[in-house]
Amino acid sequence: MADESVEALDAGHATDGQATLRETVALTMQRYFEHLDGESVTDLYQMVLSEVEAPLLASVMAHVNDNQTAASQLLGLNRGTLRKKLKQHGLL
């Protein structure tokens, strides 16, 4: 990836017209709040994490060909923590 592309992604801006992860999350949360229609919500943080964590772990594991050591390094997690999370999401 070109240096300017990496810098743009770090700054939260995509260079090819695609939305960044940050922009996608912001838009999704905006839509979520609009659809609440006044209903109260609790544990929003945990709900979002539970929705994002499983596909993140699955994508990373596929990227590293199921190498848990490489995945833990890529994610910045302890290998034991990674294994626990993989089990929680039925990925191990």
Q: Please state, as a whole number, how many other Cβ atoms lie within 10 Å of the Cβ of residue 71.
A: 22
pTM (predicted TM-score): 0.70
d(CA 65, CA 82): 15
CATH of domain 42-92: 1.10.10.60
Which token pair is 13? 């801006």
Q: Compare 7 and 85 and report the one with higher pLDDT.
A: 85
Per-residue pLDDT for 2 more than 50? Answer: no
Q: How deeply is 85 buried, as exposed, middle or buried, from its count of CB atoms within 10 A (0-12, 13-18, 19+)?
A: middle
Residue 54's closest CA among 44, 62, 43? 62
DSSP state of 10: H
Q: Please compute the mean of the pLDDT values over residues 68-82 and round it to a whole number.
A: 98
Give the model confidence (pLDDT) of 30-48 as tens digits.
Answer: 999 999 988 898 999 999 9
Residue range(s) of every CATH 1.10.10.60 domain in the chain: 42-92
Q: How many CA atoms lie within 13 A of 36 on its CB side?
A: 13
